[in-house]
Amino acid sequence: MIETFKWRGKFLLLLLLLSGTLGFFRIKVSPEMKELIDSFTNRAQRAAVFQKYGEPGIVPKELTLCDMTKPVVTKVSEKDGIIYYTLESRVEKCENSPAADGTVRIFEMGWKNRKIVKFTWGGPKGGKVEY
């Protein structure tokens, strides 16, 4: 019985260490980018956040026309004082482009002074689909 408790204790310690390590390596995002991620699955909220933080003419309106899910930041980099976030999200439904339904879209957004100053379409993962 004591051996069982020792084994369970070691297992729990291993789980705690693993979760702490994963949390340490998780990608950190700015509060503005977090607000965008949190609103990404709601089309109206996403449009409002882009309006709030996007410099005029930078974020394409097409990005607000589709239902998107599962936004994930996969990379963060910095160049010339601009912080770039690479974001992937799945297109649930897109009335303007049914061929985009089910694809995972990749976007790169450049932030400077709490504003989106650069935006690049990375296209879908695994194929070419145009809006």
DSSP state, 101? T
Contact (CB, 8 A) for 74 and 33? no
Given this model, what pLDDT does residue 95 score?
82
pLDDT tens track, the chain, 131 positions: 555 556 676 665 555 555 444 344 567 889 999 999 999 999 999 999 999 999 999 998 888 888 999 899 999 999 999 999 999 999 999 888 888 888 899 999 999 999 999 999 877 776 554 54
Given this model, what pLDDT does residue 131 score?
46
Residue 8 token pair: 């369970």
Residue 35 token pair: 């607000």
Residue 45, burial from CB neighbour count under 10 angstroms (0-12, 13-18, 19+): middle
**φ, ψ for residue 95 (rounded to 5)?**
-65, -30
CA–CA gap between residue 70 and residue 121 (Å, rounded): 17
State how far the alpha carbon of 124 is from the alpha carbons of 36, 76, 77, 108, in Å.
Answer: 20, 19, 21, 12
Given this model, what pLDDT does residue 122 score?
77
Helix (H) or strand (E) holding 32, with range, is: helix 31-39
Burial 85-119 (b: 16+ CB within 10 A, else e): bbbbbbbeebeeeeebeebbbbbebbbeeeebbbb
Q: Where are the domains of the chain?
A: 28-124
CATH second-level architecture of 28-124? Roll (3.10)
**Taking the model in full, what pTM does it have?**
0.73
CA–CA gap between residue 69 and residue 88 (Å, rounded): 9
